[in-house]
Amino acid sequence: MNIREFRFPDDYAPTLKLWQSIETGVKVGRSDTFEEIQKKVQRDPDLFLLAEHDGQIVGTIIGGYDGRRGMIYHLAVDQSLRKQGIGDMLLSEVEKRLQARGCVKCYLLVFADNERAIHFYENRGWVDMKEDKVFGKEFP
Ligand SMILES: CC(C)(COP(=O)(O)OP(=O)(O)OC[C@H]1O[C@@H](n2cnc3c(N)ncnc32)[C@H](O)[C@@H]1OP(=O)(O)O)[C@@H](O)C(=O)NCCC(=O)NCCS
């Protein structure tokens, strides 16, 4: 098992396949097309990480840093390899890299009914910002 940076374009298809296999917690959407992932990798190549096991992609995490806040997306681990510390390794590594970039505060979104992920993040120092409401806007 090793953690490495996402390599575009070769990793795109197996990564998308992994995301599509995730039962809940990762919504594959318009930011996950080939072109959008290429944009993301060009911007933050050191923050898009994969877990690899026997040559297979078994885990992912995407970090982002805009110079003020960090964001984390698409933390996912293959269902057959959970509870072995892979999620923790991915999260720790991206947190470390965000801090190295100068990031002092980071956000992530969790589906409100994703109890397992909520518990996972809370056990790792993440706090539910109940006083805040998340707003979003889609651009064409
Ligand atoms: C959330 C998710 C990424 C966690 O991945 P994971 O690889 O299972 O994570 P870990 O193995 O590091 O930790 C999971 C739990 O197993 C425990 N664990 C780790 N190694 C273990 C071992 N050898 N034996 C027993 N338990 C173990 C951890 O302590 C942790 O427990 P906790 O949640 O109570 O703290 C995974 O469940 C997943 O992909 N879920 C679907 C997608 C999703 O919801 N993503 C979040 C998007 S916001």
- CATH code: domain of residue 87: 3.40.630.30
Q: Both tokens of residue 79? A: 């269902």
Q: Is residue 135 part of a domain?
A: no
What is the residue whose two structure tokens read 């805009």? 66
Per-residue pLDDT of 29-70, as tens digits, reads: 999 999 999 999 999 999 999 999 999 999 999 999 999 999
Q: Is residue 24 part of a domain?
A: yes
Residue minimizing CA distance to atom 14 of ligand 1? 83
Q: What is the mean pLDDT of residues 112-116?
A: 97
Q: Is residue 134 part of a domain?
A: no
pTM: 0.98
Its domain, for residue 102, covers 2-122
Number of domains in the chain: 1
For residue 92 and ligand 1, the question of a CB distance below 6 A is answered with no
For residue 75 and ligand 1, the question of a CB distance below 6 A is answered with yes
Q: Is residue 79 part of a domain?
A: yes
Residue 140 C-alpha to ligand 1 middle, in angstroms?
35
69: nearest Cα among 21, 22, 108, 32: 108
Q: Both tokens of residue 110? A: 């969790």
Distance CA 96, CA 20 (A): 27
Contact 107/66 with Cβ under 8 angstroms? no
Q: With pLDDT > 90 as the criterion, what percentage of the chain qualifies? A: 100
Residue 138 C-alpha to ligand 1 middle, in angstroms?
31
For ligand 1, mutation pick of 83, 89, 108, 123 (most atoms within 8 Å of CB): 83
Q: Is residue 127 part of a domain?
A: no
Q: Is residue 56 part of a domain?
A: yes
Q: Is residue 138 part of a domain?
A: no
For ligand 1, mutation pick of 20, 23, 73, 82 (most atoms within 8 Å of CB): 82
Q: Is residue 128 part of a domain?
A: no
User: Would you list the DSSP string of 109-126?
Assistant: ---TT-HHHHHHHHTTT-
Distance CA 61, CA 87 (A): 9
